[in-house]
């Protein structure tokens, strides 16, 4: 699953790479065969493409696969052993517990000076510095010191000789000439180990930048078990990719002015890694929806229709396919476009135009069809049966009905809207009823009058 946090990290990396005429390197860390499948790789590339990070762009490099560099990673492990920077260890967990009397202490360095050679089953451990501290200079977090005493002699190769992630990652970064590592702050605790390995392998560590955690409205870290975090879920719901990119770029960073809605190309030019905030970033779905609404309103009529098309067809559309009329949709599209916050809302805005009868919304019916509603509908039936069938004519006729019953237009309009559209809110009533047509509108008003007559 491609998390919105991963999408934010990818966009920050992409912006910096393009801004500096560098490379965005996609590496698939596939050393754990149980957790890696070809379709997942396709999913990552598809998600990146959806937010504008295309493998066809000159700035894109990859995908590289960590498993393809296994020989170089093994060579690095053997080199560290030969240089005395790593040693073999045959301790089992139960041995450590027996020596220390604790289930929770890290490795105690028992095999450091035993001079063991490699045999099957012996892990290779990195010899961490005995004293002092490993200092990580992070562009976002600042200077962070990690006491070396707290860094156990960590495993860099398994008992079968295969490198573990921390070594494979450092070797691949060096081979691929990585200059910047921009990732979530949850990885900060791994950074001193990686930096020690870079130094031990004779390479200058990259620029580290650990991005602030993304939290929900309760200020809890976004979790796939609790929150909607998959990028594809938002795109499938009708959030435009340009709106998602714009919003994600502003999670934890901002250009320093009051302008929020701007294209990625502009954000790319303004992006400064050193301006990323330390504090957590609130993933505000309401604000994302507001962004999305702005982008929807900015679509051309042709693009709006194209983006809506999937929700005008099965399985989303509740009407029979033959009832859909593109000309009708095109006539109301502009009215709907100004109201949507996500594209999937289009179905409930226009379904009443393509259904034989309006959708049944009992809450809306109970709210509006109270005392006096039947009398209003009877008057409207008479007025709309003879008025000019234009938005202005329909409005003037309803204003006359409102005056007749001593009501404001809004009060008189409410039962008419529910009778014709099925809901209390929706498209501008008069413009859309004009498109529905006199015969269908009057038929629905008559049906509502009959229903009300049966309940009185």
Cis peptide leading into 315, omega within 30 of 0? yes
DSSP 121-180: T-EEEE---SSSEEEEEETTTEEEEEEGGGS---EEE-TTSPBPHHHHHHHHHHHTT--E
Contact 234, 244 (CB under 8 A): yes
Contact 387, 319 (CB under 8 A): no
Binding-site residues from annotation for ATP: 224
Binding-site residues from annotation for Zn(2+): 89, 91, 111, 113
Q: Which of 55, 85, 221, 224 is an active site residue?
A: 224
User: What is the spatial distance between Cα 209 and Cα 195, in angstroms, rounded to a whole number?
Assistant: 13
- For the question of residue 224 being annotated catalytic, the response is yes
Torsional class of 109: left (φ above 0), alpha (ψ -120 to 50), beta (otherwise): left
Binding-site residues from annotation: 89, 91, 111, 113, 224
Place of tokens 């019953």: 405
What does each C-alpha distance from 440 to 331, 333, 430 come to in angstroms? Answer: 17, 20, 14
User: What is the spatial distance between Cα 43 and Cα 1, in angstroms, rounded to a whole number?
Assistant: 8
* Alpha-carbon torsion (362, 367, 371, 376), positive or negative: negative
Residues 6+ apart with CB under 8 A from 245: 11, 51, 52, 264
Contact 377, 413 (CB under 8 A): no
What does each C-alpha distance from 230 to 44, 181, 249, 292 come to in angstroms? Answer: 11, 23, 16, 17
Among the listed residues 410, 417, 322, the one whose alpha carbon sits nearest the alpha carbon of residue 369: 417
Phi, psi of 37 (to 5 degrees): -140, 150
Tell me which residues are annotated as active site: 224
């Amino acid at each position: 699953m491609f998390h919105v946090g991963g999408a934010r990290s990818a966009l920050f990396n992409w912006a910096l790479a393009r801004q500096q005429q560098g490379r965005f390197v996609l590496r698939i860390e596939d050393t754990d065969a149980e957790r890696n499948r070809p379709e997942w790789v396709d999913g990552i590339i598809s998600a990146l493409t959806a937010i504008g990070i295309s493998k066809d762009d000159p700035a894109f490099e990859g995908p590289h696969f960590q498993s393809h560099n296994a020989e170089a990673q093994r060579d690095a492990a053997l080199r560290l052993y030969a240089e005395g920077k790593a040693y073999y260890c045959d301790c089992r967990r139960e041995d450590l517990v027996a020596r220390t009397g604790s289930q929770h202490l890290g490795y105690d360095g028992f095999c450091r000076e035993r001079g063991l050679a490699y045999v099957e089953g012996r892990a290779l451990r990195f010899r961490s510095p005995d004293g002092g501290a490993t200092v990580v200079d992070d562009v976002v977090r600042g200077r962070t010191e990690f006491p070396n005493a707290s860094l156990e002699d960590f495993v860099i190769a398994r008992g079968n000789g295969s490198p573990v992630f921390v070594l494979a990652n450092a070797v691949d970064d060096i081979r691929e000439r990585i200059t910047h590592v921009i990732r979530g702050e949850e990885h900060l605790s791994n950074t001193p180990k990686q930096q020690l390995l870079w130094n031990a392998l004779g390479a200058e560590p990259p620029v580290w930048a650990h991005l602030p955690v993304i939290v929900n409205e309760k200020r809890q870290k976004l979790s796939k078990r609790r929150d909607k975090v998959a990028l594809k879920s938002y795109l499938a719901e009708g959030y435009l990719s340009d709106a998602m990119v714009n919003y994600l770029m502003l999670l934890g960073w901002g250009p320093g002015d009051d302008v929020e809605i701007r294209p990625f190309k502009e954000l790319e030019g303004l992006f400064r890694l050193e301006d990323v905030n330390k504090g957590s970033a609130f993933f505000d779905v309401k604000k994302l929806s507001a962004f999305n609404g702005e982008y929807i309103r900015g679509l051309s009529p042709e693009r709006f229709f194209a983006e809506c098309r999937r929700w005008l067809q099965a399985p989303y559309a509740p009407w029979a396919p033959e009832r859909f009329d593109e000309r009708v949709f095109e006539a109301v599209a502009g009215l709907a476009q100004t109201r949507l916050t996500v594209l999937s809302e289009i179905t409930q805005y226009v379904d009443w135009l393509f259904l034989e009868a309006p959708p049944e919304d009992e809450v809306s019916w109970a709210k509006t069809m109270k005392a006096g509603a039947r009398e209003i509908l009877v008057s409207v039936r008479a007025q709309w049966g003879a008025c000019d069938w234009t938005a202005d004519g329909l409005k003037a006729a309803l204003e006359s009905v409102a005056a007749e019953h001593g009501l404001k237009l809004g009060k008189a309009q409410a039962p008419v809207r529910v009778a014709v559209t099925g809901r209390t809110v929706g498209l501008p009533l008069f413009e859309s009823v004009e498109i529905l047509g006199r015969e269908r509108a009057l038929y629905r008003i008559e049906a509502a009058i009959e229903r009300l007559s049966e309940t009185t």
